[in-house]
Amino acid sequence: MQPPLVSVVLPTFDRTTLLREAVESVLNQTWHAWELLVVDDGSTVRVEDWLPIDSRIRVVHLAHSGNIARVRNTGLRNAGGAYVGFLDSDDRWHPRKLELQVERLESHPGADWCHGEGALIDATGTRIKQRAGPPWQAREGRFIETMIRTDGNIALPTVLVRCSLAQSIGFDERVPTVDDYDFLLQLSLQASAVAVEGCVVAEFRQHDGQRTSNTRFDHGLGSALAYRKAHRQLTDPRLRGLCRHQGVRLLRHYLANARARGQFWKSAAHASRLLWSI
């Protein structure tokens, strides 16, 4: 009986040096039944020149859009595995990440996704302390309230998802900068989870070239949109109220920042268009 195939979706754009380390963390997996989809968002260099030769690695080229949700969706559409995992081109996985999570999901057919602990590293790859938020906990089942409150401390590179579910959810290309959080929020709304304990399954690099360091202004707006989506899907009045509270708080923060930048009316119009599109 063949082991289940895991598709790995790795978006990249002009990040060749760190990309090699991220890819090597997939090559070093103790679970060998994987395919790696490197989705290049129109890099100015030839990505293939920075990748090791391995028949399990495929490169998908796109015209540059800067929309990482679109890039991830392209990877999802090309994924042929039973499970799918997501790795950013500046992060890396523990060698047993896929093995531990596949085994956990295979032994719990009622669960559709698995998460694990993550850790921060600096530009050199050295572990650093978590800067904010609660510590990760091995929560299982459905924990939508935890995700709404952002108390879960779950990051996209730490999860493994049944591919059919991930493809049905997809990444919302309308949600700026936090399409990953929106995707995780949708996972918690729609499916039960299991967790892997005793192992940091992924490390996230903090460095000057990060996408998030250049787009913090839009972070609050993206989160507000994610909460609006969840609010429309929930039926529990208390959880709907919590989503509304979180969304309004973040939208006010976004508009306050826009006012401070002298961009209030432009940003308010932009936010209004996005909110009505959800």
Position of tokens 């039944």? 33
What does each C-alpha distance from 180 to 122, 176, 187, 197 come to in angstroms?
A: 21, 10, 11, 22
User: Which tens digit of pLDDT belongs to each residue from 52-110?
Assistant: 999 999 999 999 999 999 999 999 999 999 999 999 999 999 999 999 999 999 999 99
> pTM for the complete prediction?
0.93
Confidence band of 165 (pLDDT split at 50, 70, 90): very high
In this model, does residue 212 exceed pLDDT 50?
A: no
Distance of alpha carbon 215 from alpha carbon 249, whole angstroms: 19
CATH 3.90.550.10 holds for 6-209: yes
Question: Tell me, what's the pLDDT at 230?
Answer: 96
Domain ranges of the chain: 6-209, 215-277
Strands 6-12 and 83-86: parallel
In this model, does residue 176 exceed pLDDT 90?
A: no
In this model, does residue 217 exceed pLDDT 70?
A: no
Helix (H, G, I), strand (E, B), or coil: what is residue 278?
Answer: coil
